[in-house]
Structure 1
Amino acid sequence: MKSWTQALRDGAISGSAGSALSTVMLSACGEQEADAPLAPTNAISHWVWGDRALAHEEASIRHTLLGYAIHHGASTLWAVVYEKWFGEHAENKALTPAVAGGFAVAALACFVDYQLTPRRLRPGYEHHLSKRSLFLVYASLGIALPIRGYLAADQDK
């Protein structure tokens, strides 16, 4: 198992991949379901700006950039957990445990977000997206988490 220091380093990279891919999914689902691709990302900024942020649909520094920054931070936190528990599987190209680990961490993130977190600190994008789309967003995080390890394994050869 990796040290926490190594998990933090690797999590910064895998968290960036998870954040980017899940944000693409947020935008695609927001476009499809609400005709507003930025609304789900903007909604995350309700942590700072309150419920008015849930209705903001246009690009803005106040909502879009802050929403993405919060999302990126949360994705990185979960990526550190992934790297600590499962990151070595990806580096060893053990596909099943690496991907299963990514999905397990994403499922844990979803559980924490919607069962343990106070309503005020939930992601906010659930106001714009169906449960199907929420599944796709968390699944995209889960599938992205092993990418860093697979790429690192290729570079070691």
Structure 2
Amino acid sequence: MKSLIQTGLSAAVSGTIVSFATTAALALLARQEGKGALQPTNATSHWLYGEQAASVRRGDVAHTLVGYGTHHASSIFWAFLFELWLASRPPRPSLLIFRDALAAAAIAAATDYGFVPKRLTPGWETVLPKRSIAATFAVMAVGLAMGGMINKELRRQH
């Protein structure tokens, strides 16, 4: 039970890093595409509001808060699986943590855009081209790796 709680706390750290980093990346990529910086976040609320959520350019409670909350929860979910993987293995060097983070992000991308129903995708595809979505999943990998390394150091200190 203690290790599951520790994994949950580690996932909160890693998932928050992933959520912040990918949200920033999405905003920058959207601006490069001539879209509103919040459109990818708003698009994530499509599970509740439908496809028109992607056309909302400005921040609002209905789309931005729901979209970001959904994205943050998803980030913590993927981080939990990643941290569970790391916890089940002996401590590893940073390069191997990064390799595992790349694999986890690839699995998340394949799941989000290959296996789940369209209503449950991140919704970014309604705003951004595939290359921007791929870049966002690469940022996810970096965030997972950073979180994994931070958590490794926190465990070492305690």
Does the alignment reach a TM-score above 0.5? yes
Residues paired across the two proteins, number: 155
The letter of the residue matching 1:53 is: A
Contact preservation (8 Å) 1:113, 1:122 = yes
- Cα contact 1:46–1:53 (8 A) shared by 2: yes
1:28-107 alignment, distance < 5 Å: 28-86=28-86, 92=91, 94-107=93-106
- Percentage of pairs with the same residue: 34
In structure 2, how many angstroms separate the alpha carbons of the residues matched to 1:95 and 1:88? Answer: 16
Question: SS state of the match for residue 123, structure 1?
Answer: coil
Alpha-carbon offset, residue 93 of structure 1:
6.0
- Structure 1 pair 35/54, CA: closer, same or farther in 2 (3 Å)? closer
TM-score by length of 2: 0.89
Distance 1:153 1:88 in 2: 13
Deviations 1:96-148 (A, max 9, x none): 21001111111111000111101111111111111111111111111111223
Normalised to the residue count of structure 1, the TM-score between the two structures is 0.90
Residues 154 and 3 of structure 1, relative CA distance in 2, 3 Å threshold? closer
Q: 1:153 to 1:35 in 2, by over 3 A?
A: same
Distance 1:149 1:123, change over 3 A: closer
Task: Extract unaligned runs of 5+ from structure 2.
Answer: none
For residues 34 and 67 of structure 1, what CA distance do their matches in structure 2 show?
Answer: 20
Unaligned runs of 5+ in 1: none
